[in-house]
């Protein structure tokens, strides 16, 4: 009989070993930091092993005896003699009869090295159609009964990977690719147990049968839900020791977004999605568990069908100061082709992806033909969405153009002029000329309050998808085509997309399966809207109300077509910009993979795969003559090429030892090769108007740019899994990367993880009518990220030519050939509780991640010949809570389902570099807004200069003004005015179903955070918003005064504050200034007054779907038919109340800067309908 030391002895031994390890390490040259890392890892591993050890105490005694390990070398003899040899090596006793001829047959030599007795017995008995049973502490050898069969699902499709066990024994088999199994059982009346993730377990009692076919039923309770994890491995969710989130295809394609990333917003705890604008083709930024990297874009790795694909935040600076958002390549994925999206949030979940998973991983699985019915199938769906502009700044329509209310010069675009709509007439920019005198005729001074509404169109997006599926015994396929056509809210902007996808699987041999996923996408636009200084939004918003925007539609001056635009002042005509300032692009993309899976044995399989993501993108930018920034026009062509190829293999071994223990082991490798190339040719001066060709550039005005880069990462990784009684699960993973972008001495780095999941309701038998399920989980992991190519050594790049002279300059940033990868260390603890037969569920996660070795550029001394140098420094911490709630308050003919999520992330700068008090992450609006981080602060803080304050006395802290009664800007000190990150977010999804009718809506609430609005500053400065009305005349509270020109005016105002006198005292300000001067001085230079709350509540999605019954369709060649009314962002409440959508407040220049509202497009709400049918 086996014996075990008491638990406390085990604890003592392990603890003593850890102490000895620590002492040895302390004596070595290993740093304290490494010691603490190892100690933390060993402590967590010790905790997990202790839990498994206690669980193992419950193992039956006989199972423990059979699990004894022995070593011997049996050279020759009969099977009976072999069994006697085993008896001598163990305390086991075999009972058998010499009448069985097979027992007396000579057998080949048998060698065992530290092998379990049960494994050895199975190895020698099963091939001879023998088995054994334990009875009265004896092992009886007897003839086995071979049972064969097939396991299928509810649709009759084979289910591979099903465990088939004989209850009460260690006999186990696994179904192959065709769902077939074969198992030797001990008794003709044995009980078979069929188990598979995602299906309800099923038992079958034999009554002498030798052929048993079983159909498994999906587990609708969710307790055995199958999810996609790292490397595409399917796992039972209850076995996971880390938090992941899964969205079904219907979650993202019912209310479609052109950019599928936007469809994730509000649906997943710990995930924040921000769109760069209301245009459907805009880039979407996604961050998981906060911003952890100072210099990178903090975007997760996207993996489609096992192959990483490009996702970058790109705002390209084209000709002049224009910036254009051409959208991220990941937006090319059609929502109609998506089967599921899985988000790996923590480092433990993503560790197997190594250096590319430092900011999390988004796994996208596309649809295939595996779930289709046999034969040919066709599905079709059509979607129409309309975008209505509705969120505008609060413009004022009481005063028109001019410098002040009595001013007769009203041709300016500043709106400080005379009052409107009181029956007066003024000479205006488009006043007609008297036929006889040739003088301009005054026209009615009236307001046009709908200028912005009149300019923007109702946008439209039409999406049509058709898919053909086929299936037979040898394989399946799905061929899909999607066409999307969008007309933007800005006139003359568009976007089209054509997508072709093929997914095919072929069973080449019962043990060999070949599959492929191939996609082709073409994205094309004749004109994408400009951002920043050439945004049409700036032209539209900057028009005083006395101007009628419809007067600008004919934007060429008569007789001066293609030479001179028709404009009210020195700004560009809105329609001229929309139709003549064009930003075209054409992107062709191919993605795909070819994969082969070999079932070497029932337990061992090998997957080999190669995948490709390739695209070529061309931009063409046109600027006409008379554009304000391009007197003689401009033209530019850019071409970029990107290719990434991944080749990988994965060897999987899974073994169910008995009813108590199972384990899995996977080892694999990957090679990633990445190539980037780009070229650009531009001119800001053309010779002949309207001829857009680089050969039409004026001499000496062409600029050229070229960029090439390559990158390779070689990787090896492994994963071990152990499960006890399907209730305690331990996972250990490790990955080693070798990156070409890091120096040879630092380019190899290892990423480990360990996680534990324990189902408490099974361990402690807690399941009841109240408590359906309870699980706790814990994990620790490390992942990291490398850097971009060519960051190790300085080069001498070429600059713009100086006439005919080629110029090359030394780089101003010192590179670093001692760089190390950024390392993120993560801890996570969580629990999953379900009540009332799974009608109420609660999932809670706490996490903490510290990312060290940040790769940043810091200022350096001028004597070095450079302005910055690249180093490893800094420790950024993110910690927080994620809570998921699901409930079914009402169940029956009428059903109400709730899915809610809560996220709260706390970011903190733990440390920077010694001697570096602060680090600038960039700036916006010139240098007026700085993103600074300091020890103890947060990423996302932004700072601005403030005004000088009275230093002391009774007026301490009040504004200190100059002699003219104006604020004094203090440029020497930047004060914190906000942080763009939210305090918390909540997503609240409701689904109501009654018979064939379903209503669904999603609320998305963001609480906290701030943004600075450059738009508000500009509009206030020009007197265009309603908060600049007060003080303009006597009726609005203006004070009488006389200006420097001797004009008597009634638009006087006084800035509150104090003026210093020569004797050191402070006197209250009584200096009267013009209202325009008051608002300009109050807001234009002091940005804390332009910082607003970013809180909002949105009705993010809503849909009403009716599914036609089978009875209605029975006479039609249609198997399924549904129609939906759909909407997105139908309602938005904002805390700022100014008519700005905080979600799109960002500066789009050569990158994206959160928290700064520039000239982005106005907010929209979308509504439409969808038709879906299957044939």
In three-state secondary structure terms, 262 is helix
Asked whether 1163 and 1138 are in contact (CB, 8 A), the reply is: no
The distance from CA 755 to its chain's CA centroid, rounded to whole angstroms, is 23
Helices 1014-1021/1075-1083 angle, 10° precision: 160
Half-sphere exposure in the Cβ direction for 631 (13 Å, CA): 2
In three-state secondary structure terms, 199 is strand
- The whole-angstrom separation of Cα 156 and Cα 159 is 9
Task: Give the dihedral of Cα atoms 785, 791, 792, 795; nearest 10 deg.
Answer: 170
Nearest to 170 by CA among 264, 289, 65, 287: 65
Same structural domain, 56 and 71: no
Asked whether 493 and 578 are in contact (CB, 8 A), the reply is: yes
Tokens 């034999």 correspond to 206
Whole-number pLDDT of residue 315: 53
Same structural domain, 159 and 208: yes
Asked whether 1036 and 993 are in contact (CB, 8 A), the reply is: no
Tokens in use for 1077? 């001067």
Which of 16, 32, 60 finishes a domain? 60
Is 245 part of a structural domain of the chain? no
Is 1059 part of a structural domain of the chain? no
Which of 215, 250, 274 finishes a domain? 215
DSSP 279: S
Which of 116, 138, 160 finishes a domain? 138
Is 1043 part of a structural domain of the chain? no
CA angle 916, 918, 923 (to 5 degrees): 135
| Extended strands (E) in 969-1119 | 969-979, 984-994, 997-1007, 1010-1013, 1039-1042, 1048-1053, 1058-1060, 1066-1068, 1073-1074, 1091-1093, 1096-1107
DSSP 1061: -
Whole-number pLDDT of residue 314: 62
- The whole-angstrom separation of Cα 1139 and Cα 452 is 13
Same structural domain, 77 and 17: no
Residue 947 has φ and ψ, to the nearest 5°, of -100, 155
Is 864 part of a structural domain of the chain? no
Pair type for strands 868-872 and 813-814: parallel
Asked whether 759 and 727 are in contact (CB, 8 A), the reply is: yes
| Extended strands (E) in 238-355 | 244-248, 271-275, 284-288, 301-304, 307-309, 315-317, 322-325, 338-344
Is 196 part of a structural domain of the chain? yes
Nearest-Å Rg of the Cα atoms of the chain is 36
Residue 89 has φ and ψ, to the nearest 5°, of -85, -15
Nearest to 197 by CA among 828, 667, 721, 593: 721
Question: Model pTM?
Answer: 0.82
Same structural domain, 129 and 152: no
Longest dimension (CA), the chain: 133
- The whole-angstrom separation of Cα 690 and Cα 986 is 52
- The whole-angstrom separation of Cα 240 and Cα 974 is 47
CB pairs under 8 A, 24+ apart, for 596-599?
A: 596/512, 596/513, 596/514, 596/515, 597/177, 597/512, 597/513, 597/515, 598/511, 598/512, 599/176, 599/177, 599/510, 599/511, 599/512, 599/513
In three-state secondary structure terms, 1142 is helix
In three-state secondary structure terms, 412 is coil
Whole-number pLDDT of residue 52: 44
Same structural domain, 54 and 105: no
Asked whether 914 and 943 are in contact (CB, 8 A), the reply is: no
DSSP 628: T
Is 19 part of a structural domain of the chain? yes
CATH classification at residue 184: 2.60.40.1120
Q: Which domain range does residue 108 map to? A: 67-138
Asked whether 327 and 1161 are in contact (CB, 8 A), the reply is: no
Burial of 398 by CB count in 10 Å (0-12 exposed, 13-18 middle, 19+ buried)? middle
Whole-number pLDDT of residue 97: 55
- The whole-angstrom separation of Cα 103 and Cα 94 is 12
Residue 66 has φ and ψ, to the nearest 5°, of -70, -20
- The whole-angstrom separation of Cα 312 and Cα 283 is 9
- The whole-angstrom separation of Cα 502 and Cα 479 is 5
How many domains does one find in the chain? Answer: 3
| Extended strands (E) in 549-660 | 582-599, 604-627, 630-656
Asked whether 353 and 854 are in contact (CB, 8 A), the reply is: no
Asked whether 943 and 974 are in contact (CB, 8 A), the reply is: yes
In three-state secondary structure terms, 472 is strand
Mean pLDDT for back-to-back runs of 10 residues, the chain (1175 residues): 35 39 39 44 46 42 66 83 83 70 78 82 79 75 85 83 83 83 86 84 88 84 71 84 91 90 94 86 89 86 89 62 79 91 87 84 91 86 95 95 73 86 91 88 94 96 96 91 96 96 92 94 94 87 94 94 89 94 94 94 92 94 93 94 95 86 93 94 94 94 89 94 93 93 87 94 93 95 84 75 69 82 92 94 96 87 76 93 96 95 96 88 82 92 92 93 94 91 96 96 96 92 95 95 91 96 93 95 88 95 94 87 95 91 71 79 94 93
| Extended strands (E) in 222-337 | 226-228, 234-236, 244-248, 271-275, 284-288, 301-304, 307-309, 315-317, 322-325
Bridge partners (DSSP) listed for residue 106 = 78
Is 52 part of a structural domain of the chain? yes
The distance from CA 184 to its chain's CA centroid, rounded to whole angstroms, is 49
Asked whether 763 and 666 are in contact (CB, 8 A), the reply is: no
Same structural domain, 118 and 148: no
Whole-number pLDDT of residue 819: 84
Is 54 part of a structural domain of the chain? yes
Residue 700 has φ and ψ, to the nearest 5°, of 80, 10
Asked whether 229 and 349 are in contact (CB, 8 A), the reply is: yes
- The whole-angstrom separation of Cα 581 and Cα 315 is 17
Same structural domain, 71 and 121: yes
In three-state secondary structure terms, 1087 is helix
């Amino acid at each position: 009989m086996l014996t075990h030391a008491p638990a406390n002895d085990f604890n003592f031994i392990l603890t003593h070993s850890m102490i000895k390890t620590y002492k040895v390490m302390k004596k070595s040259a290993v740093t304290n930091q490494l010691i603490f890392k190892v100690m933390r890892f060993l402590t967590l591993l010790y905790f997990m092993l202790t839990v498994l050890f206690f669980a193992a105490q419950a193992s039956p005694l006989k199972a423990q005896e059979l699990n004894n390990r022995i070593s011997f070398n049996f050279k020759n003899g009969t099977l009976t003699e072999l069994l006697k040899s085993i008896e001598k090596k163990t305390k086991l006793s075999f009972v058998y009869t010499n009448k069985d001829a097979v027992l007396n047959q000579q057998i080949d030599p048998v060698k065992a090295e530290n092998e379990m007795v049960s494994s050895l017995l199975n190895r020698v008995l099963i091939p001879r159609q023998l088995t054994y049973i334990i009875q009265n502490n004896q092992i009886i050898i007897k003839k086995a009964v071979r049972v064969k069969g097939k396991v299928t699902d509810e649709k009759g499709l084979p289910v591979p990977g099903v465990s088939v066990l004989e209850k009460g024994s260690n006999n186990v088999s696994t179904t192959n690719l065709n769902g077939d199994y074969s198992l030797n059982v001990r008794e003709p009346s044995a009980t078979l147990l069929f188990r598979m993730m995602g299906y309800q377990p099923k038992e079958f009692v034999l009554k002498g049968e030798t052929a048993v076919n079983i159909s498994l039923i999906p587990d609708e309770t969710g307790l055995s839900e199958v999810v996609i994890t790292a490397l595409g491995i399917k796992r039972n969710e209850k076995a996971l020791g880390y938090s992941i989130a899964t969205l079904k295809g219907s979650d993202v394609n019912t209310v479609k977004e052109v950019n599928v990333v936007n469809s994730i917003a509000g649906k997943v705890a710990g995930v924040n999605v921000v769109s760069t604008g209301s245009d459907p083709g805009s880039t979407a930024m996604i961050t998981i568990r906060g911003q952890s990297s100072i210099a990178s874009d903090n975007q997760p790795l996207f993996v489609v069908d096992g192959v990483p694909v490009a996702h970058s935040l790109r705002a390209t600076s084209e000709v002049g100061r224009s910036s254009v958002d051409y959208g991220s390549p990941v937006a090319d994925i059609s929502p109609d082709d998506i089967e599921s999206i899985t988000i790996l949030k923590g480092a433990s979940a993503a560790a197997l992806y190594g250096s590319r998973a430092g900011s999390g991983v988004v796994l996208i699985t596309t649809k295939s033909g595996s779930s289709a019915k046999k034969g040919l199938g066709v599905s079709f769906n059509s979607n129409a969405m309309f975008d209505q502009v509705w969120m505008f700044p609060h413009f004022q329509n009481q005063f028109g153009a001019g410098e002040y209310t009595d001013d007769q010069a009203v041709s300016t675009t500043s709106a400080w002029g005379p009052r409107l709509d009181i029956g007066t007439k003024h000479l205006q920019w488009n006043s007609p000329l008297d036929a006889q005198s040739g003088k301009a005729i005054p026209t009615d001074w009236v307001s046009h309050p709908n200028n912005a509404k009149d300019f923007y169109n109702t946008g439209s997006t039409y999406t049509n998808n058709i898919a053909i599926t086929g299936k037979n015994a040898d394989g399946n396929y799905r061929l899909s085509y999607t066409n999307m056509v969008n007309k933007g809210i800005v006139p003359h902007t568009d976007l089209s997309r054509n997508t072709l996808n093929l997914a095919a699987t072929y069973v080449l041999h019962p043990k060999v399966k070949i599959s492929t996923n191939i996609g082709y996408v073409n994205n094309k636009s004749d004109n994408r809207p400009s951002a920043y200084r050439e945004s049409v939004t700036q032209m539209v918003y900057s028009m005083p109300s006395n101007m009628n925007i419809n007067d600008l539609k004919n934007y060429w001056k008569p007789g001066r077509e293609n030479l001179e635009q028709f404009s009210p002042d020195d700004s560009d005509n809105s329609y001229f910009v929309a139709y003549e300032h064009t930003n075209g692009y054409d992107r062709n993309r191919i993605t795909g993979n070819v994969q082969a899976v070999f079932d070497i044995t029932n337990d061992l399989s090998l997957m080999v795969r190669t995948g490709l993501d390739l695209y070529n993108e061309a931009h063409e930018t046109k600027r006409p003559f008379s554009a304000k920034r391009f007197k003689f026009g401009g033209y530019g062509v850019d071409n970029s090429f990107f290719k990434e190829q991944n080749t990988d293999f994965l060897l999987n071994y899974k073994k169910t030892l008995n009813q108590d223990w199972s384990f899995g082991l996977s080892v694999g490798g990957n090679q990633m090769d990445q190539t980037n190339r780009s070229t650009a040719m531009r001119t800001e001066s053309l010779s002949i108007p309207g001829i857009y060709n680089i050969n039409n550039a004026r001499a000496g005005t062409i600029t050229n740019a070229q960029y090439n880069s390559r990158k390779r990462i070689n990787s090896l990784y492994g994963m071990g899994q152990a499960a006890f009684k399907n209730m305690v699960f331990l996972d250990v993973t490790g990955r080693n990367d070798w990156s070409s972008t890091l120096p040879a001495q630092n380019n190899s780095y290892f990423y480990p993880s360990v996680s534990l999941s324990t189902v408490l309701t099974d361990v402690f038998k807690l399941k009841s009518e109240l408590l359906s399920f309870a699980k706790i989980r814990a994990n620790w992991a490390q992942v990291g990220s490398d850097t971009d190519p060519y960051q190790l050594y300085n080069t001498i790049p070429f600059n713009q030519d100086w006439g005919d002279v080629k110029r090359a300059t030394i780089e101003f940033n010192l590179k670093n050939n001692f760089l190390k990868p950024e390392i993120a260390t993560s801890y996570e603890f969580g629990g999953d509780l379900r009540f009332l037969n799974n009608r109420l569920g609660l999932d809670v996660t706490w996490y903490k991640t510290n990312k060290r070795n940040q790769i940043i550029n810091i200022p350096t001394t001028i004597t070095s010949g450079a302005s910055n140098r690249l180093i490893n420094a800094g420790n950024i911490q993110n910690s927080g809570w994620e809570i998921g709630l699901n409930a079914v308050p009402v169940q029956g003919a009428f059903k109400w389902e709730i899915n809610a999520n809560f996220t709260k992330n706390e970011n903190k700068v733990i440390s920077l570099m010694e001697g570096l008090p602060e680090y600038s992450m960039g700036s916006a609006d010139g240098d007026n807004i700085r993103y600074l981080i300091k020890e103890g602060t947060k990423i996302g803080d932004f700072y601005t200069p403030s005004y000088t304050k009275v230093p002391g006395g009774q007026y301490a802290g009040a504004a200190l003004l100059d002699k003219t009664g104006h604020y004094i800007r203090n440029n020497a000190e930047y004060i914190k005015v906000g942080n763009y990150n939210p305090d918390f977010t909540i997503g609240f999804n409701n689904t109501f179903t009654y018979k064939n009718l379903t209503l669904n809506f999603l609320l998305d609430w963001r609480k906290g955070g701030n943004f600075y609005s450059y738009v508000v500053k500009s509009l206030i400065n020009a007197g265009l918003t309603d908060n600049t009305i007060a003080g303009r005349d006597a009726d609005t509270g203006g004070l009488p005064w006389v200006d420097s020109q001797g004009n008597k005016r009634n638009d006087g105002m006084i800035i509150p504050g104090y003026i210093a006198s020569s004797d050191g005292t402070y006197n209250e300000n009584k200096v009267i200034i013009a209202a325009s001067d008051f608002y300009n001085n109050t807001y234009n230079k002091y940005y804390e007054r332009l910082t607003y709350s970013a809180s909002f509540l949105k009705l993010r999605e809503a849909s009403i779907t009716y599914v036609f019954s089978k009875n209605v369709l029975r006479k039609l060649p249609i198997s399924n038919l549904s129609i939906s009314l759909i909407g997105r962002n139908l309602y938005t409440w904002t805390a700022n109340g100014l008519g700005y959508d905080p979600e799109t407040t960002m500066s789009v220049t050569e990158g994206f800067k959160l928290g700064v509202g520039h000239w982005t497009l106005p907010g929209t709400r979308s509504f439409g309908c969808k038709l879906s049918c299957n044939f």
